[in-house]
Amino acid sequence: MRRLLLLLAAGTFAGCQSPLPAVDPQMAWVDFATPTPGGKLLMAERLDNQRLRDGRFFQVSPGSHELRVRFDFEVFGGGGSLMTGPVERLCYLTIRFDHFEAGQRYRLEARSLAFTPSARLYNDKREIVAEDREVNCII
């Protein structure tokens, strides 16, 4: 039994380390970043309201798309006391962009200002092309 659990754990870990697929030049690619402290997890959740299997990136056809990401982050000093430890937040952020271009790379950055998360989509020139239009926090 113990050996089976070890094999399952190793298989799960190996699955997390699988390489990203090749970039398709006919598609646009969206990378993720959390530049502020406290950002723990930023993952692709849905593309055009369809759940994704791999949350590490978006690869989209040219044109208009709605991207939904899961953003987990910590807020330090929550609860009104300096002695309180970090408070974890789980939020879903939705961004719509109408002009994805084939062969282009984009960067979606999620950040938080205290308890308030936000997201911006940048093109390869580091220009903001879209901002979150919906924020839904669970915790």
User: What one-letter code names the amino acid at 139?
Assistant: I
% of the chain with per-residue pLDDT over 90: 65
Per-residue pLDDT of 25-42, as tens digits, reads: 999 999 999 987 778 899
Please give the DSSP secondary-structure letter assigned to residue 36.
Answer: S
Res 98: pLDDT: 97
How large is the average pLDDT for residues 133-139? 91
As given in the structure block, the two tokens for residue 90 are 């789980």
Bin 77: left if φ > 0, else alpha if -120 < ψ < 50, else beta.
left
Q: Where are the domains of the chain?
A: 25-137
Q: Report, in angstroms and rounded to the nearest whole number, the Rg of the chain calculated over CA atoms.
A: 17
Please provide the DSSP assignment of 39-87 as one string: EEEEEEEEETTEE-S-TT-EEE-SEEEEEEEEEEEEETTGGG-TT---E
As given in the structure block, the two tokens for residue 71 are 């953003």
Question: How confident is residue 132, by pLDDT bands cut at 50, 70 and 90?
Answer: very high
Res 5: pLDDT: 39
Per-residue pLDDT of 54-102, as tens digits, reads: 999 999 999 999 999 999 999 876 555 555 678 889 999 999 999 999 9
Q: Which residue has the tokens 């930023």?
A: 42
Mean pLDDT for all residues in the chain: 85
Is pLDDT larger for residue 38 or for residue 52? 52
**What is the rounded CA–CA span in Å between residue 62 and residue 56?**
19
